[in-house]
Amino acid sequence: MASSAQLRRLKPLYQLVVNNILAIVAVPLAAAAVLKAAELGPAEILARLRALRPAHMFLAAFLPAAAAALYLRLRPRAVYLVDYACFRTNPNCRVPFATFLEHSRVWPGFDERSVRFMTRLLERSGLGEETCLPYAQHYIPPSRDLESSRAEVELVIFSAIDDLLAKTGVSAHDIDILVVNCSLFAPTPSFTDMIIRRYKLREDVRAVHLAGMGCSAGLISVECARNLLQVAPHGARALVVSTETITPNYYMGQERAMLLPNCLFRMGGAAALLSTDGSTARFRLARVVRTLRGAADSAYHCVYQEEDDRGNVGINLSKDLMNIAGDALKANITAMGPLVLPASEQLLFALSFIARKVLNNRIKPYIPDFRTAFEHFCIHAGGRAVIDELQRSLTLSDEQVEASRMTLHRFGNTSSSSLWYELAYIEAKGRMRRGDRVWMIGFGSGFKCNSAAWECIRPAANADGPWANCIHRYPVHIPDVLKH
């Protein structure tokens, strides 16, 4: 016990030495070079320089300059987050537990067993009493027609885009790239066409609509926009819109595995403006890492849209979902770690890996401390179990997963847009500082685990946003889940 405590006390010293090893080595070498130059004197140094051949002098000057020019020419452009905005839910869309369960009991498609099951799900879900569903789902039975679905789309994404354009002062005419993601609703004309028509975007705007990619599609949209910005003129702007349309996807059957989305998913959406011009930006995009496990049948089917035996369409969530998500997370952090972790953590991980090979896995693997690489964590608010699993896997504190838990409580699972609500929570709490690093982690069907790393350039000046009217009440206490 004493040795373990001593090791913990020594770890800061170890991190200081390893993370600054270049400086520790370079300073003595530079001092030795200065002492040697002082010993030789100016006349001797000039004499030795004159003795060099002109070709050597040319190469010594040209090669570093050419290498630097080539690097600057070939390196990817930096991409920045100018600003973002989240859909602000309306109180008249609120669905308290009592209302949700009363409507479920009235609807004849659900039997008492299904209602009891959904009651237990809600009690354990981590959702609060202020989450919102679209207007069409307040009817008995819920309306799932095309017109109602389009009405939800227009309410959510147009509201978010209006707020974003107002915040940034950017004209819709100045948008060069448009990327939208919504998994389960793909009408014709598409979401991108709806936005182009509403805001009169230019005829040459590059538009992409991503569908069927689940809750991690928001980060795929960010990566897609980043790649398009690499080949666009410098200063181009990309509008990224992430949402999930709830209206047409309410499950009306009795299969337990397909009832869970009814209890967790709520309306929400976000719009973000990316650009290669960082003059007015608030964040810099550092990394995007995507992990896809769809080649395995179990991963492919763990989040699967299908019909039940009565023809009711819904999303079937497999019992193996958390295990598959855990495997995808391990693969993602294995790829992400070398890109973001300091040298001290990478060295410990490498030594642990070698030791396990030598000792035939008789020792526990070393889990890198990602808290040394990031100050803030935005974990997809897919459900209480998802947040619990990531907190355990990454050894995060309660405060570091607070944004995810409070977003789930206040807004529910808003699919790919939940990460932006979490970022807004951190800023509304005044916790973001210049230079802080943020790790966004999203999970989605397929099965996918995607990550994005951001660096803060300019924190929000105020708490305006989706949390403006309620941030003073958060964090709230969420009771522990009862296990029967």
- Give tens-digit pLDDT for 15-37: 666 666 666 676 777 777 677 66
Span 166-176, mean pLDDT?
96
Q: Which long-range contacts (CB under 8 A, 24 or more apart) does 222-225 make?
A: 222/272, 222/274, 222/285, 222/288, 222/452, 223/288, 223/290, 223/450, 223/452, 224/179, 225/79, 225/177, 225/179, 225/274
pLDDT, one tens digit per residue, over 123-132 is 999 999 999 9
Span 215-232, mean pLDDT?
96
- The HSE-up count of residue 54 (CA atoms within 13 Å, CB side) is 0
pLDDT at 281 exceeding the cut of 50:
yes
Q: Which long-range contacts (CB under 8 A, 24 or more apart) does 304-307 make?
A: 304/445, 305/184
Least confident stretch, 152-161, 388-397, 449-458: 388-397
What pLDDT was estimated at residue 461? Answer: 76
pLDDT, one tens digit per residue, over 286-307 is 999 999 998 999 999 999 999 9
Span 217-246, mean pLDDT?
96
pLDDT at 73 exceeding the cut of 70:
no
What pLDDT was estimated at residue 484? Answer: 41
- Tokens 């998994």 -> residue: 183
The CA distance from 372 to 30, in Å, is 29
Structure tokens at 435: 């230079």
pLDDT at 355 exceeding the cut of 90:
no
What pLDDT was estimated at residue 369? Answer: 85
pLDDT at 483 exceeding the cut of 60:
no
- State what percent of residues in the chain have pLDDT above 70: 88
Structure tokens at 141: 């039975």
Q: Are β-strands 177-181 and 206-210 bridged in parallel, bridged antiparallel, or unpaired?
A: parallel
User: Nearest-CA neighbor of 267 among 136, 398, 365?
Assistant: 136
The 10 Å Cβ neighbour count of residue 209 is 20
The 10 Å Cβ neighbour count of residue 73 is 7
Residues 6+ apart with CB under 8 A from 332: 289, 290, 291, 441, 449, 450, 451
- Tokens 């000039």 -> residue: 46
The answer to whether 174 and 199 have CB atoms below 8 angstroms apart is: no
pLDDT, one tens digit per residue, over 410-452 is 999 999 999 999 999 999 999 999 999 999 999 999 899 999 9
Q: Are β-strands 437-444 and 177-181 bridged in parallel, bridged antiparallel, or unpaired?
A: unpaired
Mean pLDDT of the chain: 88
What pLDDT was estimated at residue 72? Answer: 62
Least confident stretch, 77-91, 184-198, 467-481: 467-481
The answer to whether 283 and 438 have CB atoms below 8 angstroms apart is: yes
The answer to whether 449 and 331 have CB atoms below 8 angstroms apart is: yes
Residues 6+ apart with CB under 8 A from 354: none
Q: What is the DSSP string of 371-425?
A: GGT-SEEEE--S-HHHHHHHHHHTT--TTTTHHHHHHHHHH-B-GGGHHHHHHHH
What pLDDT was estimated at residue 51? Answer: 73
Q: Which long-range contacts (CB under 8 A, 24 or more apart) does 403-408 make?
A: 403/376, 403/377, 403/378, 404/377, 404/378, 404/379, 404/380, 405/126, 405/381, 405/475, 405/478, 406/474, 406/475, 406/476, 407/381, 408/125, 408/126, 408/127, 408/381, 408/383, 408/384
What pLDDT was estimated at residue 10? Answer: 64
pLDDT at 467 exceeding the cut of 80:
yes
pLDDT at 201 exceeding the cut of 50:
yes
| b/e burial code for range 330-339 (CB count within 10 A of at least 16 → b) | eebbeebbee
The CA distance from 12 to 145, in Å, is 59
Span 249-253, mean pLDDT?
91
| Helix (H), strand (E) at residue 8 | helix 2-19
User: Nearest-CA neighbor of 243 among 215, 204, 284, 276?
Assistant: 215
